[in-house]
Chains A and B, each alone.
Chain A
């Protein structure tokens, strides 16, 4: 297998892999028995899910009165968690779609897991929509269905209805994108399957894929169009989520900066979560040769960009609140920074604006430990951002007699725990039973973007099949 190696770019796949090596490495965890680490993680995730399910069930049984909401703060953790999870769900489709359109080859090692993360995160977000409806058994009322009360339809002027369409379309299209991308790899697992159950299951799941040239050509065409459709979809979903706030008349919410600011924040938190998960996955499944420091650095660069956009947005909000000359608007922002929720505001500023700037230092953005810590800090910061926007804008309204504070109950916390349990249970099941790395796409970039294959020559020892060795290769081998 000959290599075409760029003299300027670092190889994306290291370890001198062949096509068969990629299949073996990725299929190893699908075909083998679950590891001890996986079993421990899965048990913790299921226990978390069980406790969270109890809290969610109790919320549904009793109604949302069990939450710490009051007449002033009618939305708090439920919407905070919803927006946070939707935001996390944005990096997957972004990696798949936008980076595909921009021909970024480094996406191939991480797109599958990121897309899975998207779907699970959107499911977690959906659980909060259902939870805060109070009567989840009437969730279908949010859809334009004919009903027994006459010609009564949903109000298409309401951003909450737009949300329903946006989130469900996003979930459906992401699911289709993810599954379609997985069909060729499922066929690979099917053709290697040893036992009857695997043969049947992966046979059914792989849709009879045989990798014919005609199918591949059409498949590429479909992938590219799906990417083209998903790109504006990603941007629209968080824009529409931001409309929930922006179309209202609450000081601190009613701002035109919200759509781009929410989208940047979503990409920011999404990439942070992808990093958290991928760093664990590469460690647990020993995929360091596929998810290299190169990948980590690329993602960190996106975090610096989006983190800085978010920082600029915070400052712009403040400036516009002052420049508008509206006293209520100015008060809302001064109150955020210096009022009773100052700690939430400054946690947000520290986590989202200050800490990602550390990634300008190359040593930090290429360090696995530092990246892991920073990715968690960013996610905490983004949760605080949503909490600050929602709770601090509501807790001081136009009537000082109704000013109040929000204190979460165990059910607020429990429902949040539920979403973590659900997310990690699904992610661990995915990581065990489905290929976490897109084998077909990694194979497709192997020649142009990987370390060269080492071939054995008679009497000459081990030599590379590449004639000249670029200077970077030394670093690449050390990673």
Chain B
């Protein structure tokens, strides 16, 4: 079922203006859908009220999985499945486990974390992006307000956005699948 939603899109020329505007717009009782910027702006996620990312925890867990897999794999292969009996050396020499275990820890952590990042952000090859204004990947800073989630009228929100520095405010109809 396809429905469409109406958004108000405020365009800003400067990231500092946007950052201040986000705080003021929120305090005026307007719920912001999301902001779109050409580069990361520090503090914007906090201003928008986003929670802190838990990706570091994911990376740690994936890394731990990598270490465990590596140590188990090498121990099983070298010590159990095909023990190499050379000069009375131990079947599973701990120092020799280190390089491969380290590499697999990094590999699992990096790939696992990036995969988690792509999945949580719903990014995949060929995905059609939800763009409110194509200039947001170039030089403009965009604030999108979902009209269905706000009690204020479109005109009121428009004037609030303009009061806090938006150079233009457009309406955008977005198809939600």
Among B53, B77, B129, B135, point to the contact of A217 (Cβ < 8 A): B53
Chain B residues positioned under 8 Å from A254 (CB to CB) = none
Given A156-B100, A176-B114 in contact, is the A213-B130 Cβ separation under 8 Å?
Answer: no
Chain B residues positioned under 8 Å from A328 (CB to CB) = none
Given A173-B107, A207-B123 in contact, is the A156-B137 Cβ separation under 8 Å?
Answer: no
A397 CB within 8 Å of chain B: no
Tell me the minimal C-beta distance from A22 to chain B in angstroms: 8
B168 CB within 8 Å of chain A: no
Given A1-B14, A153-B77, A211-B38 in contact, is the A172-B111 Cβ separation under 8 Å?
Answer: yes
**Closest Cβ neighbor of B89 among chain A residues:** A157
Whole-angstrom distance between the alpha carbons of A216 and B45 in the complex? 9
Given A165-B99, A444-B39 in contact, is the A215-B84 Cβ separation under 8 Å?
Answer: no
**Closest Cβ neighbor of A200 among chain B residues:** B126
Residue from B38, B84, B118, B123 having most chain A Cβ neighbours under 10 A: B38
Q: What is the total number of residues of chain A having a CB less than 8 Å from a CB of chain B?
A: 66
Interface code B112-133, partner A: CB below 8 Å = 1, 0 otherwise? 0110011011111111111110
Task: Scan residues 134-189 of chain A and give those whose CB is less than 8 A from a CB of chain B.
Answer: 144, 151-153, 155-157, 159, 161-162, 165-166, 169, 172-173, 176-177, 180, 183-184, 187-188
A15 CB within 8 Å of chain B: no
Whole-angstrom distance between the alpha carbons of A177 and B106 in the complex? 13
Whole-angstrom distance between the alpha carbons of A444 and B99 in the complex? 37
Whether A226 pairs with B82 at a CB distance below 8 angstroms is: no
Whole-angstrom distance between the alpha carbons of A114 and B95 in the complex? 33
Given A207-B125, A214-B45 in contact, is the A20-B39 Cβ separation under 8 Å?
Answer: no
Chain B residues positioned under 8 Å from A159 (CB to CB) = 99
Q: How large is the interface on B (under 10, 10 to 19, 20 to 34, 35 or more residues)?
A: 35 or more
B64 CB within 8 Å of chain A: no
**Closest Cβ neighbor of B74 among chain A residues:** A156
A219 CB within 8 Å of chain B: yes
Given A204-B126, A221-B56 in contact, is the A166-B103 Cβ separation under 8 Å?
Answer: yes
Whether B107 pairs with A209 at a CB distance below 8 angstroms is: no
Whole-angstrom distance between the alpha carbons of A18 and B14 in the complex? 11
A101 CB within 8 Å of chain B: no
Among B55, B123, B128, point to the contact of A183 (Cβ < 8 A): B123
B152 CB within 8 Å of chain A: no
Whole-angstrom distance between the alpha carbons of A139 and B42 in the complex? 46
B9 CB within 8 Å of chain A: no
Q: What is the interface of chain A, defined by CB distance below 8 A to chain B?
A: 1-2, 18-20, 23, 144, 151-153, 155-157, 159, 161-162, 165-166, 169, 172-173, 176-177, 180, 183-184, 187-188, 190-192, 203-222, 225-226, 229-230, 232-233, 236, 240, 243, 439-441, 443-444, 447
Q: Apart from A210-B136, A216-B40, what are 9 other A-B pairs with CB-CB below 8 Å? A: A162-B99, A165-B100, A172-B110, A210-B130, A212-B36, A214-B50, A218-B53, A221-B53, A226-B110
Q: What is the interface of chain B, defined by CB distance below 8 A to chain A?
A: 13-16, 34-41, 44-45, 48, 50, 53, 55-56, 59, 63, 73-74, 77-78, 81-82, 84, 93, 96-97, 99-100, 102-104, 106-107, 109-111, 113-114, 117-118, 120-132, 134-139
